[in-house]
Amino acid sequence: MFSLKKKRIAYLRSIWCKSIDKHRNLDLISSYHNLLASEETEPIVDEKTWTDLDYNSIFTKMDRNISGIGQQYLYHLLHKYERDENLLKKRFGLISILKGNQELREKIQLNLFGLTGVSSYFVGYLVLGKTLPNTKYYPLFYLCSLLSVACLLLIPFNGIFLFVALAVLLTNLTLNKIFSKKIYEYFTGFSSLNALIVSAISISKIKTDLPIEEIDFLKKKRNLLTSLKKKLGYLVIDKESLNELALSFIEYLNMFLLFDIIAYYRSVNTLLKNQNDIREVFESVANLDAAISVASYLEEIPFYSNPIFNSLDKISFHNLYHPLIRDAVPNTVESIMNSVLITGSNMSGKTTFIKTIGINFILSQSLYFSLSKEIYIPKLVVKSAIRRNEDLEEGKSYFFVEIESLNDFIKLSEEKNKYLFLIDEIFRGTNTIERLASSTAVLKYLDMNNTVFVTTHDIELQDLLENNFKMFHFSEQVENGKFFFNYKIKEGPCSSGNAIKLLEIMKYPGSIIAEANSIVKELLLNDPLVNKVKI
């Protein structure tokens, strides 16, 4: 036992402030969030935005949880816009306490190893399930079980009880077949519910003078937890650990004496009577694990800051960076009060920049930190239109998919919530004239009540939107016959293009370069919207 504890402590120290490379079943991890999503009255990060911003990868990088329920809770927190700033500060306060107290966090983690198996993901169904299979007539199963035993015992006294016993046993076998199908899938959850209760009782015994509400709550609920552990009884026996003979014996008894069914209905009644308390126990234990996970992540990254929220719709940040890019180039902007139009060539950093903003807006409002030296932002719900593929199965073109996405934004912009809309290469799937006209009209409309960050190659939009949007751009650097990107955002409109220079660097035929330059000059003369551009 002592050796196992030493091995586990060594493991915990080996993974501190490091990413954990392991298989993650995101379907099971996300199940708790999906169950909670139907209860949410406040906005949550929608799946389109989650996917656009690569949040599964961010979750994976941040996930250093020991337990399955900790993973589920962190996954949910990353989706949740927390409007109560005091709660956000309290959440981050717990992270900070655990980050700075190795002995305490290791004591907590040592009590979570019972929740490492796949079965731990199913506790959430029991904790949140309002429609668990149940019946108020379950005491009748006790009667059937006792009757079968009584008849078997009475056979030596009167042979007629042999026929009665056979009839009762067949009845019980039928009942077992009917009801076991309804309840079998919940057995795994009850086994892990017992593991949760054991972990909670152990954590409640940890002595600390630090103000940790979760541990204090578990201390108050220790008597209830001890009582629940006793009531679960037979249902949580680990049958896989039994030898073949013992397992066969239990299975036969179960078929004819209804042990599993009786244990399930007794346990589910106990669970439903105490479901609110059990849910709080679940959240307390899961939150401790998730907080340690985030603390480990914060110990690893170069720097971070707590957000300062404002009601002025002002956006400022200093050295904001992307969490998934190694040696990411940080960017700084000051006092943005408008929507933003970002121009620049491919690979210059436009899309990464708007993703970085979206990620940090969500982190600020879910976990109360951002990847920056400083961030000053309003509370805005992030919606994105970045990855847009043709939906071939439904016969939708790329352009039509984009129209649908932006129409959703238009409807949202008329609601009470305020949004940050992130749009990458608006209307890139249609012809130039209609693209410019549609883009201008849609972006002006979205800007009326919300904030928009949009990227584009259409430099004409700079003039069309100069009264509504603040202009920024990224550009590649061309020096000594080589080109490179510094990924630094620059204020102001884009005033030059390097595309033809890049063709020249890549040794395209001289005739192509000459003709391209000639066509550009002709277009510039005939197009008043782009005649400011230098080549």
In degrees and rounded to multiples of 5, residue 474 shows phi and psi of -115, 150
Residue pair 192/210 in contact by the 8 Å Cβ criterion: no
Segment 166-175 mean pLDDT? 84
445-460 pLDDT per residue, tens: 999 999 999 999 888 8
Segment 352-366 mean pLDDT? 97
pTM of the model: 0.87
45-92 pLDDT per residue, tens: 999 999 999 999 999 999 999 999 999 999 999 999 999 999 999 999
Residue among 7, 504, 96 nearest 297 (CA): 96
Mean pLDDT of the chain: 86
Rounded CA-CA distance 364/361 in Å is 5
Structure tokens at 459: 């430099």
Q: Where in the chain is the domain with CATH 1.10.1420.10?
A: 2-137+179-300
Rounded CA-CA distance 494/344 in Å is 7
Secondary structure letter of residue 8 according to DSSP: H
DSSP string, 429-456: TS-HHHHHHHHHHHHHHHHTTSEEEEEE
Segment 384-401 mean pLDDT? 64
Pick the CATH number of 308-494 from 3.30.1740.10, 3.40.50.620, 3.40.50.880, 3.40.50.300: 3.40.50.300
Decide which of 375 and 264 is more confident: 375
Decide which of 233 and 139 is more confident: 139
Q: Where in the chain is the domain with CATH 3.40.50.300?
A: 308-494
Residue 70 CB contacts under 8 Å (≥ 6 apart), including other chains: 112, 115, 285, 286, 288, 289, 290, 292, 293
Rounded CA-CA distance 295/97 in Å is 9
Three-state SS annotation for 20-80: CCCCCCHHHHCHHHHHHHCCCCCCECCHHHHHHCCHHHHHHHHCCCCCHHHHHHHHHHHHE
305-314 pLDDT per residue, tens: 999 999 999 9
Question: Looking at the domain 2-137+179-300, which fold is it?
Answer: MutS, DNA mismatch repair protein; Chain A, domain 3 (1.10.1420)
